[in-house]
Structure 1
Amino acid sequence: MNINRSSLFWGVLLIGGGVLALADQLGYIEDLSPTLWILVFAAISLLGFVSYAMSSWTQWGWLFPAGVFGGLAAVIALATNNVDSAAVASPLFLGLLIPFAAAYFTDRVRNWWALIPGGVMLFLFLTLLMVDTVGGEWVGAMFLLLIGVTFLFVYLNDRSRNWALLVAYIFGVLSVAPMLAAFGDVAAYFGTVFLLAIALPFYIVYFRSAENWWAIIPAGVMTTLSIVATLGIAGVLNSATSGGYGFALLLAGLAVTFAVLWFRHSKPWAKVVAVVLGVMAVTAVFFVSYYELYWPVALILGGAYLFYTALRKPKAV
Protein backbone atom coordinates (compact mmCIF):
# COMPACT_ATOMS: atom_id res chain seq x y z
CA MET A 1 0.00 0.00 0.00
CA ASN A 2 1.37 3.37 -1.03
CA ILE A 3 1.30 5.93 1.77
CA ASN A 4 1.35 9.63 1.09
CA ARG A 5 3.88 10.63 3.73
CA SER A 6 3.22 14.33 3.23
CA SER A 7 -0.51 14.01 3.95
CA LEU A 8 0.21 11.67 6.85
CA PHE A 9 2.72 14.09 8.37
CA TRP A 10 0.51 17.16 8.19
CA GLY A 11 -2.54 15.15 9.24
CA VAL A 12 -0.84 13.95 12.42
CA LEU A 13 0.48 17.46 13.05
CA LEU A 14 -2.97 19.05 12.72
CA ILE A 15 -4.63 16.39 14.88
CA GLY A 16 -2.00 16.79 17.58
CA GLY A 17 -2.32 20.58 17.51
CA GLY A 18 -6.09 20.34 17.68
CA VAL A 19 -5.97 17.95 20.64
CA LEU A 20 -3.66 20.30 22.57
CA ALA A 21 -5.84 23.33 21.79
CA LEU A 22 -9.02 21.46 22.79
CA ALA A 23 -7.47 20.25 26.05
CA ASP A 24 -6.42 23.81 26.83
CA GLN A 25 -9.93 25.18 26.16
CA LEU A 26 -11.58 22.49 28.32
CA GLY A 27 -9.27 23.28 31.22
CA TYR A 28 -7.36 20.03 31.23
CA ILE A 29 -4.18 21.97 30.59
CA GLU A 30 -3.89 25.20 32.53
CA ASP A 31 -0.43 26.22 31.45
CA LEU A 32 1.71 24.48 28.87
CA SER A 33 5.27 24.56 30.14
CA PRO A 34 8.06 25.70 27.81
CA THR A 35 9.67 22.29 28.20
CA LEU A 36 6.59 20.64 26.70
CA TRP A 37 6.69 22.96 23.69
CA ILE A 38 10.40 22.26 23.23
CA LEU A 39 9.68 18.52 23.18
CA VAL A 40 6.72 18.91 20.80
CA PHE A 41 8.62 21.09 18.33
CA ALA A 42 11.69 18.87 18.55
CA ALA A 43 9.56 15.79 17.82
CA ILE A 44 8.00 17.47 14.76
CA SER A 45 11.45 18.50 13.58
CA LEU A 46 12.75 14.96 14.00
CA LEU A 47 9.77 13.55 12.12
CA GLY A 48 10.41 15.93 9.22
CA PHE A 49 14.08 14.97 9.09
CA VAL A 50 13.24 11.25 9.15
CA SER A 51 10.84 11.80 6.25
CA TYR A 52 13.62 13.54 4.35
CA ALA A 53 15.96 10.62 5.01
CA MET A 54 13.31 8.09 3.90
CA SER A 55 13.00 9.92 0.57
CA SER A 56 16.59 8.89 -0.22
CA TRP A 57 17.72 12.40 0.69
CA THR A 58 16.06 13.91 -2.38
CA GLN A 59 12.82 15.53 -1.17
CA TRP A 60 14.43 18.53 0.48
CA GLY A 61 11.03 20.13 1.12
CA TRP A 62 10.81 17.99 4.28
CA LEU A 63 13.61 20.09 5.72
CA PHE A 64 11.32 23.11 5.99
CA PRO A 65 9.26 21.67 8.88
CA ALA A 66 12.41 20.02 10.23
CA GLY A 67 14.35 23.29 10.21
CA VAL A 68 11.54 25.63 11.29
CA PHE A 69 10.28 23.54 14.20
CA GLY A 70 13.81 22.61 15.23
CA GLY A 71 14.67 26.30 15.21
CA LEU A 72 11.60 27.13 17.30
CA ALA A 73 12.57 24.47 19.84
CA ALA A 74 16.05 26.00 20.08
CA VAL A 75 14.61 29.53 20.41
CA ILE A 76 12.39 28.50 23.32
CA ALA A 77 15.28 26.63 24.95
CA LEU A 78 17.53 29.69 24.75
CA ALA A 79 14.78 32.01 26.02
CA THR A 80 14.03 29.82 29.02
CA ASN A 81 17.73 29.77 29.87
CA ASN A 82 17.79 33.58 30.15
CA VAL A 83 19.66 34.30 26.92
CA ASP A 84 18.87 38.01 26.68
CA SER A 85 20.16 39.03 23.26
CA ALA A 86 19.17 39.09 19.61
CA ALA A 87 21.00 35.78 19.18
CA VAL A 88 18.03 34.01 20.77
CA ALA A 89 16.18 34.16 17.42
CA SER A 90 19.13 33.06 15.27
CA PRO A 91 18.31 29.30 15.29
CA LEU A 92 15.06 29.99 13.42
CA PHE A 93 16.91 31.47 10.44
CA LEU A 94 19.50 28.71 10.59
CA GLY A 95 16.62 26.27 10.30
CA LEU A 96 15.33 28.14 7.25
CA LEU A 97 18.81 28.13 5.71
CA ILE A 98 19.14 24.33 5.82
CA PRO A 99 16.43 23.44 3.23
CA PHE A 100 17.73 26.00 0.73
CA ALA A 101 21.25 24.62 1.11
CA ALA A 102 19.92 21.08 0.62
CA ALA A 103 17.95 22.17 -2.46
CA TYR A 104 21.07 23.64 -4.04
CA PHE A 105 23.30 20.63 -3.38
CA THR A 106 20.59 18.21 -4.54
CA ASP A 107 20.59 19.72 -8.04
CA ARG A 108 23.01 22.61 -8.45
CA VAL A 109 22.01 23.21 -12.07
CA ARG A 110 18.25 23.46 -11.68
CA ASN A 111 18.15 24.76 -8.10
CA TRP A 112 20.71 27.56 -8.44
CA TRP A 113 17.99 29.99 -7.34
CA ALA A 114 18.18 28.53 -3.81
CA LEU A 115 21.49 30.36 -3.33
CA ILE A 116 19.70 33.72 -3.19
CA PRO A 117 17.18 33.03 -0.37
CA GLY A 118 19.85 30.89 1.28
CA GLY A 119 22.22 33.86 1.30
CA VAL A 120 19.51 36.05 2.84
CA MET A 121 18.88 33.48 5.61
CA LEU A 122 22.62 33.22 6.27
CA PHE A 123 22.86 37.00 6.60
CA LEU A 124 19.92 37.14 9.05
CA PHE A 125 21.41 34.29 11.07
CA LEU A 126 24.84 35.93 11.33
CA THR A 127 23.34 39.37 11.97
CA LEU A 128 21.39 38.15 14.99
CA LEU A 129 24.53 36.49 16.32
CA MET A 130 26.73 39.56 15.87
CA VAL A 131 24.48 42.61 16.21
CA ASP A 132 25.00 42.95 19.97
CA THR A 133 28.78 42.60 19.81
CA VAL A 134 29.93 44.39 16.63
CA GLY A 135 29.29 47.81 15.15
CA GLY A 136 26.61 48.53 12.61
CA GLU A 137 29.28 49.18 9.96
CA TRP A 138 30.35 45.54 10.03
CA VAL A 139 26.76 44.34 9.80
CA GLY A 140 26.24 46.52 6.73
CA ALA A 141 29.49 45.29 5.19
CA MET A 142 28.52 41.68 5.85
CA PHE A 143 25.12 42.23 4.23
CA LEU A 144 26.64 43.60 1.02
CA LEU A 145 29.44 41.04 1.00
CA LEU A 146 27.13 38.07 1.44
CA ILE A 147 24.93 39.29 -1.39
CA GLY A 148 28.05 39.52 -3.53
CA VAL A 149 29.23 36.04 -2.55
CA THR A 150 25.75 34.64 -3.24
CA PHE A 151 25.74 35.93 -6.81
CA LEU A 152 29.35 34.81 -7.23
CA PHE A 153 28.24 31.24 -6.56
CA VAL A 154 25.37 31.75 -9.03
CA TYR A 155 27.98 32.66 -11.65
CA LEU A 156 30.35 29.81 -10.75
CA ASN A 157 27.44 27.41 -11.06
CA ASP A 158 26.95 28.51 -14.68
CA ARG A 159 29.69 30.59 -16.31
CA SER A 160 27.23 31.88 -18.91
CA ARG A 161 25.51 34.03 -16.26
CA ASN A 162 27.80 37.03 -16.65
CA TRP A 163 25.14 39.26 -15.10
CA ALA A 164 25.59 37.42 -11.78
CA LEU A 165 29.34 38.08 -11.83
CA LEU A 166 28.69 41.78 -12.41
CA VAL A 167 26.24 41.93 -9.49
CA ALA A 168 28.72 40.05 -7.27
CA TYR A 169 31.51 42.47 -8.17
CA ILE A 170 29.39 45.57 -7.53
CA PHE A 171 28.22 44.40 -4.10
CA GLY A 172 31.73 43.24 -3.23
CA VAL A 173 33.11 46.71 -3.95
CA LEU A 174 30.28 48.43 -2.09
CA SER A 175 30.94 46.25 0.97
CA VAL A 176 34.32 47.94 1.37
CA ALA A 177 32.69 51.31 2.18
CA PRO A 178 31.14 50.34 5.56
CA MET A 179 34.29 48.36 6.41
CA LEU A 180 36.40 51.48 5.96
CA ALA A 181 33.86 53.54 7.91
CA ALA A 182 34.66 51.39 10.95
CA PHE A 183 38.22 52.78 10.91
CA GLY A 184 37.32 56.47 11.08
CA ASP A 185 39.37 58.64 8.72
CA VAL A 186 40.26 55.65 6.56
CA ALA A 187 36.75 55.87 5.08
CA ALA A 188 37.94 58.85 3.03
CA TYR A 189 39.94 56.43 0.89
CA PHE A 190 36.84 54.69 -0.43
CA GLY A 191 37.01 56.99 -3.45
CA THR A 192 40.39 55.47 -4.27
CA VAL A 193 39.04 51.96 -3.85
CA PHE A 194 36.08 52.80 -6.05
CA LEU A 195 38.29 54.17 -8.85
CA LEU A 196 40.55 51.11 -8.74
CA ALA A 197 37.48 48.88 -8.75
CA ILE A 198 36.38 50.55 -11.98
CA ALA A 199 39.86 50.10 -13.46
CA LEU A 200 40.18 46.40 -12.59
CA PRO A 201 37.62 45.02 -15.11
CA PHE A 202 39.30 47.01 -17.89
CA TYR A 203 42.69 45.55 -16.95
CA ILE A 204 41.20 42.07 -17.12
CA VAL A 205 39.68 42.79 -20.54
CA TYR A 206 42.99 44.27 -21.73
CA PHE A 207 45.20 41.36 -20.70
CA ARG A 208 42.81 38.71 -22.05
CA SER A 209 43.41 39.66 -25.68
CA ALA A 210 45.71 41.96 -27.64
CA GLU A 211 42.68 43.04 -29.65
CA ASN A 212 41.32 44.74 -26.54
CA TRP A 213 44.03 47.42 -26.61
CA TRP A 214 41.41 50.12 -26.07
CA ALA A 215 40.74 48.88 -22.51
CA ILE A 216 44.08 50.19 -21.27
CA ILE A 217 42.85 53.78 -21.77
CA PRO A 218 40.01 53.76 -19.18
CA ALA A 219 42.13 51.48 -16.96
CA GLY A 220 45.06 53.91 -17.05
CA VAL A 221 42.87 56.97 -16.55
CA MET A 222 41.12 55.47 -13.50
CA THR A 223 44.42 54.26 -12.01
CA THR A 224 46.01 57.69 -12.45
CA LEU A 225 43.02 59.40 -10.86
CA SER A 226 43.13 56.97 -7.92
CA ILE A 227 46.83 57.73 -7.32
CA VAL A 228 46.27 61.49 -7.43
CA ALA A 229 43.21 61.16 -5.16
CA THR A 230 45.13 59.03 -2.65
CA LEU A 231 48.00 61.50 -2.44
CA GLY A 232 45.51 64.34 -2.07
CA ILE A 233 43.61 62.62 0.74
CA ALA A 234 46.88 61.75 2.49
CA GLY A 235 47.90 65.41 2.39
CA VAL A 236 50.94 64.84 0.17
CA LEU A 237 49.34 66.96 -2.53
CA ASN A 238 47.79 70.10 -1.11
CA SER A 239 45.72 72.19 -3.52
CA ALA A 240 46.99 75.39 -1.94
CA THR A 241 50.72 74.61 -2.12
CA SER A 242 51.34 71.69 -4.46
CA GLY A 243 48.27 71.43 -6.65
CA GLY A 244 50.49 71.96 -9.70
CA TYR A 245 52.40 68.77 -8.91
CA GLY A 246 49.13 66.88 -8.79
CA PHE A 247 48.27 68.24 -12.22
CA ALA A 248 51.71 67.22 -13.50
CA LEU A 249 51.26 63.73 -12.04
CA LEU A 250 47.88 63.44 -13.76
CA LEU A 251 49.41 64.36 -17.11
CA ALA A 252 52.32 61.97 -16.54
CA GLY A 253 49.96 59.10 -15.77
CA LEU A 254 47.99 59.77 -18.94
CA ALA A 255 51.25 59.97 -20.90
CA VAL A 256 52.31 56.55 -19.60
CA THR A 257 48.92 55.11 -20.57
CA PHE A 258 49.28 56.20 -24.20
CA ALA A 259 52.96 55.24 -24.20
CA VAL A 260 51.85 51.65 -23.55
CA LEU A 261 49.72 51.82 -26.69
CA TRP A 262 52.67 53.26 -28.58
CA PHE A 263 55.31 50.72 -27.55
CA ARG A 264 53.18 47.60 -27.11
CA HIS A 265 50.61 48.00 -29.88
CA SER A 266 52.45 50.26 -32.35
CA LYS A 267 49.72 52.89 -32.53
CA PRO A 268 51.20 55.93 -34.33
CA TRP A 269 48.59 58.33 -32.99
CA ALA A 270 49.33 57.18 -29.42
CA LYS A 271 52.93 58.32 -29.89
CA VAL A 272 51.78 61.88 -30.54
CA VAL A 273 49.42 61.91 -27.55
CA ALA A 274 52.04 60.37 -25.22
CA VAL A 275 54.76 62.84 -26.25
CA VAL A 276 52.45 65.86 -25.95
CA LEU A 277 51.18 64.79 -22.52
CA GLY A 278 54.74 64.01 -21.38
CA VAL A 279 56.00 67.43 -22.43
CA MET A 280 53.03 69.08 -20.73
CA ALA A 281 53.74 67.11 -17.53
CA VAL A 282 57.40 68.19 -17.45
CA THR A 283 56.48 71.78 -18.25
CA ALA A 284 53.84 71.79 -15.52
CA VAL A 285 56.53 70.91 -12.95
CA PHE A 286 58.66 73.91 -13.91
CA PHE A 287 55.68 76.25 -13.97
CA VAL A 288 54.05 74.81 -10.87
CA SER A 289 53.33 78.28 -9.48
CA TYR A 290 51.18 79.04 -12.50
CA TYR A 291 49.48 75.67 -12.90
CA GLU A 292 46.02 77.26 -12.74
CA LEU A 293 46.85 79.18 -15.93
CA TYR A 294 48.63 76.27 -17.58
CA TRP A 295 45.61 74.31 -18.73
CA PRO A 296 43.83 77.29 -20.39
CA VAL A 297 47.09 78.27 -22.13
CA ALA A 298 47.56 74.68 -23.33
CA LEU A 299 44.05 74.71 -24.77
CA ILE A 300 44.71 77.98 -26.56
CA LEU A 301 47.98 76.68 -28.04
CA GLY A 302 46.31 73.46 -29.12
CA GLY A 303 43.48 75.37 -30.74
CA ALA A 304 45.95 77.68 -32.49
CA TYR A 305 47.80 74.69 -33.91
CA LEU A 306 44.59 73.19 -35.26
CA PHE A 307 43.62 76.59 -36.70
CA TYR A 308 47.02 76.77 -38.42
CA THR A 309 46.76 73.29 -39.91
CA ALA A 310 43.29 74.10 -41.21
CA LEU A 311 44.43 77.24 -43.06
CA ARG A 312 47.80 76.16 -44.42
CA LYS A 313 48.04 75.08 -47.98
CA PRO A 314 48.35 71.33 -48.57
CA LYS A 315 51.68 70.16 -49.93
CA ALA A 316 51.81 69.47 -53.63
CA VAL A 317 51.99 65.80 -54.50
Structure 2
Amino acid sequence: MKSTNASIIAGIVLIALGGLLLLDRLGVTDSGAFVAPLIFAAVGGLFASLFVRRRENWWAAIPGSVFLGLAAVIVATQLTDGAWGAAFLFVFMGGGFAAVYLRERANWWALIPSGVMFTLAAIVALPQAMQGTPTAAVLFLGLAATFGLLSLVPVHAAGPAGNQAERMKWPLVPAGMLAAMGAIFILQSAAVLIPLDFAFPAVMILAGLALMVYAYLAHRDGRQKAHGPGPTAG
Protein backbone atom coordinates (compact mmCIF):
# COMPACT_ATOMS: atom_id res chain seq x y z
CA MET A 1 0.00 0.00 0.00
CA LYS A 2 1.28 3.48 -0.85
CA SER A 3 2.25 5.68 2.08
CA THR A 4 -0.22 8.38 0.98
CA ASN A 5 -3.16 5.96 1.18
CA ALA A 6 -2.04 4.73 4.58
CA SER A 7 -1.73 8.32 5.78
CA ILE A 8 -5.24 9.15 4.59
CA ILE A 9 -6.76 6.14 6.36
CA ALA A 10 -4.78 6.81 9.54
CA GLY A 11 -5.87 10.47 9.43
CA ILE A 12 -9.54 9.51 9.11
CA VAL A 13 -9.22 7.12 12.06
CA LEU A 14 -7.55 9.77 14.22
CA ILE A 15 -10.20 12.35 13.35
CA ALA A 16 -12.98 9.90 14.22
CA LEU A 17 -11.35 8.93 17.51
CA GLY A 18 -10.71 12.57 18.39
CA GLY A 19 -14.32 13.45 17.62
CA LEU A 20 -15.60 10.64 19.82
CA LEU A 21 -13.35 11.69 22.71
CA LEU A 22 -14.53 15.29 22.30
CA LEU A 23 -18.18 14.22 22.44
CA ASP A 24 -17.37 12.18 25.53
CA ARG A 25 -15.81 15.19 27.25
CA LEU A 26 -18.85 17.30 26.38
CA GLY A 27 -21.14 14.66 27.85
CA VAL A 28 -22.94 14.07 24.56
CA THR A 29 -22.19 10.37 24.28
CA ASP A 30 -20.15 7.60 25.86
CA SER A 31 -17.22 7.16 23.48
CA GLY A 32 -15.88 4.10 25.29
CA ALA A 33 -18.48 1.95 23.58
CA PHE A 34 -17.31 3.00 20.11
CA VAL A 35 -13.52 3.28 20.38
CA ALA A 36 -12.74 -0.45 20.39
CA PRO A 37 -14.96 -1.43 17.43
CA LEU A 38 -13.75 1.59 15.48
CA ILE A 39 -10.12 0.59 15.99
CA PHE A 40 -10.82 -3.00 14.97
CA ALA A 41 -12.79 -1.83 11.94
CA ALA A 42 -9.98 0.53 10.93
CA VAL A 43 -7.35 -2.24 11.11
CA GLY A 44 -9.67 -4.60 9.24
CA GLY A 45 -10.19 -1.91 6.62
CA LEU A 46 -6.43 -1.61 6.13
CA PHE A 47 -6.13 -5.34 5.40
CA ALA A 48 -9.23 -5.20 3.19
CA SER A 49 -7.66 -2.42 1.13
CA LEU A 50 -4.53 -4.54 0.74
CA PHE A 51 -6.68 -7.43 -0.46
CA VAL A 52 -8.50 -5.30 -3.01
CA ARG A 53 -5.43 -3.57 -4.44
CA ARG A 54 -3.32 -6.56 -5.49
CA ARG A 55 -4.24 -10.10 -6.50
CA GLU A 56 -1.23 -11.57 -4.70
CA ASN A 57 -2.45 -10.06 -1.44
CA TRP A 58 -5.11 -12.76 -1.05
CA TRP A 59 -3.73 -13.51 2.43
CA ALA A 60 -4.91 -10.08 3.68
CA ALA A 61 -8.52 -11.30 3.61
CA ILE A 62 -7.86 -13.54 6.62
CA PRO A 63 -6.63 -10.98 9.19
CA GLY A 64 -8.99 -8.39 7.69
CA SER A 65 -11.99 -10.64 8.30
CA VAL A 66 -10.83 -11.32 11.87
CA PHE A 67 -10.59 -7.63 12.81
CA LEU A 68 -13.86 -6.75 11.05
CA GLY A 69 -15.49 -9.69 12.81
CA LEU A 70 -14.26 -8.49 16.19
CA ALA A 71 -15.73 -5.06 15.51
CA ALA A 72 -19.03 -6.67 14.51
CA VAL A 73 -19.05 -8.82 17.65
CA ILE A 74 -18.63 -5.80 19.94
CA VAL A 75 -21.34 -3.81 18.18
CA ALA A 76 -23.75 -6.77 18.01
CA THR A 77 -23.15 -7.61 21.68
CA GLN A 78 -24.01 -4.06 22.70
CA LEU A 79 -27.12 -3.95 20.53
CA THR A 80 -28.47 -7.43 21.28
CA ASP A 81 -27.29 -7.91 24.88
CA GLY A 82 -24.86 -10.66 23.87
CA ALA A 83 -27.26 -12.71 21.73
CA TRP A 84 -25.63 -14.04 18.56
CA GLY A 85 -22.63 -11.76 19.06
CA ALA A 86 -19.97 -14.43 18.62
CA ALA A 87 -21.69 -15.72 15.48
CA PHE A 88 -20.66 -12.57 13.61
CA LEU A 89 -16.97 -13.34 14.16
CA PHE A 90 -17.34 -16.78 12.57
CA VAL A 91 -19.41 -15.35 9.71
CA PHE A 92 -16.76 -12.75 8.89
CA MET A 93 -13.96 -15.31 9.16
CA GLY A 94 -15.84 -17.72 6.92
CA GLY A 95 -16.32 -14.94 4.41
CA GLY A 96 -12.61 -14.10 4.63
CA PHE A 97 -11.53 -17.63 3.75
CA ALA A 98 -14.13 -17.76 0.98
CA ALA A 99 -12.65 -14.54 -0.42
CA VAL A 100 -9.20 -16.19 -0.41
CA TYR A 101 -10.54 -18.94 -2.67
CA LEU A 102 -12.50 -16.59 -4.91
CA ARG A 103 -9.44 -14.38 -5.42
CA GLU A 104 -7.08 -17.28 -6.17
CA ARG A 105 -8.77 -20.53 -7.23
CA ALA A 106 -5.58 -22.49 -6.54
CA ASN A 107 -6.27 -21.92 -2.82
CA TRP A 108 -8.97 -24.60 -2.70
CA TRP A 109 -7.87 -25.44 0.85
CA ALA A 110 -9.47 -22.17 2.04
CA LEU A 111 -12.92 -23.73 1.52
CA ILE A 112 -12.32 -26.09 4.46
CA PRO A 113 -11.83 -23.42 7.17
CA SER A 114 -14.53 -21.36 5.47
CA GLY A 115 -17.05 -24.16 5.86
CA VAL A 116 -15.91 -24.79 9.43
CA MET A 117 -16.38 -21.11 10.34
CA PHE A 118 -19.87 -20.94 8.81
CA THR A 119 -20.79 -24.16 10.62
CA LEU A 120 -19.61 -22.73 13.94
CA ALA A 121 -21.61 -19.57 13.24
CA ALA A 122 -24.75 -21.69 12.77
CA ILE A 123 -24.03 -23.57 16.00
CA VAL A 124 -23.53 -20.38 18.02
CA ALA A 125 -26.76 -18.93 16.60
CA LEU A 126 -28.80 -21.97 17.70
CA PRO A 127 -31.26 -21.24 20.51
CA GLN A 128 -30.66 -22.71 23.93
CA ALA A 129 -33.49 -25.16 23.43
CA MET A 130 -31.54 -26.85 20.62
CA GLN A 131 -28.27 -27.27 22.49
CA GLY A 132 -26.99 -30.82 22.85
CA THR A 133 -27.64 -33.47 20.24
CA PRO A 134 -29.00 -31.04 17.59
CA THR A 135 -25.80 -29.04 17.93
CA ALA A 136 -23.74 -32.14 17.18
CA ALA A 137 -25.97 -32.87 14.18
CA VAL A 138 -25.43 -29.37 12.78
CA LEU A 139 -21.67 -29.69 13.35
CA PHE A 140 -21.28 -32.99 11.51
CA LEU A 141 -23.67 -32.09 8.69
CA GLY A 142 -22.00 -28.71 8.19
CA LEU A 143 -18.59 -30.36 7.94
CA ALA A 144 -20.01 -33.00 5.59
CA ALA A 145 -21.40 -30.27 3.35
CA THR A 146 -17.99 -28.55 3.38
CA PHE A 147 -16.15 -31.63 2.11
CA GLY A 148 -18.99 -32.40 -0.30
CA LEU A 149 -18.61 -28.94 -1.82
CA LEU A 150 -14.85 -29.44 -1.99
CA SER A 151 -15.34 -32.54 -4.14
CA LEU A 152 -17.14 -30.38 -6.73
CA VAL A 153 -14.35 -27.83 -7.01
CA PRO A 154 -12.12 -28.26 -10.09
CA VAL A 155 -8.43 -28.34 -9.21
CA HIS A 156 -5.73 -27.81 -11.80
CA ALA A 157 -3.20 -30.62 -11.83
CA ALA A 158 -0.25 -31.11 -14.13
CA GLY A 159 -0.47 -34.25 -16.21
CA PRO A 160 0.59 -35.80 -19.51
CA ALA A 161 -1.99 -33.71 -21.35
CA GLY A 162 -0.91 -30.48 -19.66
CA ASN A 163 -2.58 -28.46 -16.95
CA GLN A 164 -6.01 -30.03 -16.54
CA ALA A 165 -8.87 -29.18 -14.20
CA GLU A 166 -10.02 -32.24 -12.28
CA ARG A 167 -12.32 -32.78 -9.34
CA MET A 168 -10.93 -34.34 -6.20
CA LYS A 169 -12.50 -37.56 -4.98
CA TRP A 170 -10.91 -37.90 -1.54
CA PRO A 171 -13.26 -35.31 0.09
CA LEU A 172 -16.13 -37.73 -0.50
CA VAL A 173 -14.69 -40.06 2.16
CA PRO A 174 -14.80 -37.62 5.11
CA ALA A 175 -18.05 -36.18 3.70
CA GLY A 176 -19.70 -39.61 3.85
CA MET A 177 -18.40 -40.37 7.34
CA LEU A 178 -19.44 -36.98 8.72
CA ALA A 179 -22.85 -37.20 7.05
CA ALA A 180 -23.41 -40.61 8.65
CA MET A 181 -22.56 -39.21 12.07
CA GLY A 182 -24.84 -36.25 11.46
CA ALA A 183 -27.68 -38.56 10.46
CA ILE A 184 -27.22 -40.58 13.65
CA PHE A 185 -27.41 -37.47 15.82
CA ILE A 186 -30.51 -36.32 13.90
CA LEU A 187 -32.20 -39.63 14.62
CA GLN A 188 -31.19 -39.43 18.26
CA SER A 189 -32.50 -35.88 18.56
CA ALA A 190 -35.78 -37.08 17.03
CA ALA A 191 -36.11 -39.57 19.91
CA VAL A 192 -35.29 -42.57 17.70
CA LEU A 193 -33.36 -44.88 19.99
CA ILE A 194 -30.03 -45.91 18.51
CA PRO A 195 -27.71 -47.20 21.21
CA LEU A 196 -24.15 -45.99 20.86
CA ASP A 197 -23.01 -49.61 21.03
CA PHE A 198 -24.59 -50.05 17.59
CA ALA A 199 -24.08 -46.54 16.24
CA PHE A 200 -20.29 -46.45 16.20
CA PRO A 201 -19.83 -49.90 14.62
CA ALA A 202 -22.32 -48.81 11.95
CA VAL A 203 -20.27 -45.71 11.27
CA MET A 204 -17.11 -47.82 11.00
CA ILE A 205 -18.79 -50.13 8.49
CA LEU A 206 -20.00 -47.16 6.42
CA ALA A 207 -16.53 -45.62 6.57
CA GLY A 208 -15.00 -48.90 5.37
CA LEU A 209 -17.45 -49.09 2.48
CA ALA A 210 -16.66 -45.48 1.58
CA LEU A 211 -12.94 -46.25 1.54
CA MET A 212 -13.50 -49.28 -0.69
CA VAL A 213 -15.57 -47.23 -3.14
CA TYR A 214 -12.91 -44.53 -3.16
CA ALA A 215 -10.15 -47.10 -3.80
CA TYR A 216 -12.15 -48.61 -6.67
CA LEU A 217 -12.76 -45.21 -8.29
CA ALA A 218 -9.12 -44.20 -7.89
CA HIS A 219 -7.96 -47.53 -9.40
CA ARG A 220 -10.37 -47.21 -12.31
CA ASP A 221 -9.32 -43.66 -13.07
CA GLY A 222 -5.66 -44.66 -12.82
CA ARG A 223 -6.13 -47.42 -15.36
CA GLN A 224 -7.99 -45.11 -17.74
CA LYS A 225 -5.22 -42.51 -17.56
CA ALA A 226 -2.54 -45.15 -18.02
CA HIS A 227 -4.11 -46.61 -21.15
CA GLY A 228 -5.36 -43.29 -22.51
CA PRO A 229 -7.37 -43.05 -25.71
CA GLY A 230 -6.65 -45.68 -28.28
CA PRO A 231 -4.69 -44.88 -31.43
CA THR A 232 -6.78 -43.36 -34.17
CA ALA A 233 -6.68 -44.77 -37.66
CA GLY A 234 -4.80 -42.56 -40.12
TM-score range, shorter chain: 0.5 to 0.7
Corresponding residue for 2:136? 191
Select the structure with the greater relative contact order (CA < 8 A; seq sep ≥ 6): 2
User: Is the contact made by 1:119 and 1:147 (CA closer than 8 Å) also made in structure 2?
Assistant: yes
Q: Map 1:39-54; keep pairs closer than 5 Å.
A: none
Amino acid at match of 2:135: F
- Return the match for 2:47 from 92, 100, 108: 100
- Structure 1 residues 64 and 173: alpha-carbon distance in aligned structure 2, compared to 1, 3 A threshold: same
Amino acid at match of 2:6: G
For residue 187 of structure 2, the aligned residue among 197, 220, 231 is 231
Distance in 2 separating the partners of 1:211 and 1:159: 14
Change (3 A) 1:200 1:95: closer
Q: How far apart are residue 186 of structure 1 and its match?
A: 1.0
Tell me the distance in 2 between the aligned counterparts of 1:138 and 1:153. 23
Contact 1:177 1:190 in 2 (8 A): yes
Which amino acid is the alignment partner of residue 118 of structure 1? G
Instruction: Find the counterpart in structure 2 of residue 139 from structure 1.
Output: 85
User: Are the aligned partners of 1:148 and 1:169 in contact in 2 as well (CA < 8 Å)?
Assistant: yes
Higher-Rg member (1/2): 1
SS of corresponding position for 1:146: helix
Alpha-carbon distance between aligned partners in 2 of 1:85 and 1:69, rounded to the nearest angstrom = 14
Structure 2 CA distance for partners of 1:211 and 1:101, relative to 1, 3 Å: closer
Distance 1:69 1:210 in 2: 49
Q: How does 1:1-317 map to 2 (within 5 A)?
A: 59-79=4-24, 80-84=26-30, 86-89=32-35, 90-105=37-52, 107-136=53-82, 138-180=84-126, 183-188=127-132, 189-204=134-149, 212=169, 216=172, 218-237=174-193, 239=195, 254=206
Compared with structure 1, are the counterparts of its residues 144 and 77 closer, same or farther at alpha carbon in structure 2 (3 Å cutoff)? same
Identical positions, percent: 24
Q: Distance in 2 between matches of 1:149 and 1:174?
A: 13
Q: 1:227 to 1:164 in 2, by over 3 A?
A: closer
Q: Alpha carbons of 1:87 and 1:127: their partners in 2 closer, same or farther (altered >3 Å)?
A: farther
Which residue is 2:225 aligned to?
A: none
Aligned residues: 198
| Off by >6 Å, runs of 4+ in structure 1 | 208-211
User: What residue identity is the alignment partner of 1:67?
Assistant: I
- Take 2:84 and 2:31, find their aligned partners in 1: how far apart are those partners? 18
Contact 2:58 2:100 in 1 (8 A): yes
Q: Is the 8 A contact 2:116 2:146 kept in 1?
A: no
Which residues of structure 1 form unaligned runs of 5+? Answer: 1-51, 266-317
**d(CA) in 2 for partners of 1:83 and 1:169?**
39
- 1:113 to partner: Cα distance: 3.7
Q: CA deviation at 1:129?
A: 2.2
Superposition deviation, residue 232 in structure 1: 0.9
Provide closer, same or farther for how the CA distance between residues 128 and 63 of structure 1 changes in structure 2, counting only shifts above 3 A.
farther
Higher strand fraction: Structure 1 or Structure 2?
Answer: 2
Q: What is the alpha-carbon distance in structure 2 between the residues aligned to residue 206 and residue 124 of structure 1? A: 32
Report if the CA contact (8 A) 1:144-1:175 is conserved.
Answer: yes
Residue by residue over 1:105-136, the C-alpha shift from the partner in whole angstroms, topping out at 9 and shown as x without a partner, is 3x231333433343233223323322223244
Letter in 2 for 1:168: S
Equivalent residue letter for 2:108: N
Distance, in Å, in 2 between the alignment partners of 1:211 and 1:63 is 45
Corresponding residue for 2:220? none
Instruction: Determine the C-alpha separation between the residues in 2 that align with 1:211 and 1:165.
Output: 13
Runs of 5+ consecutive residues of structure 2 not aligned to the other structure: 154-165, 218-234
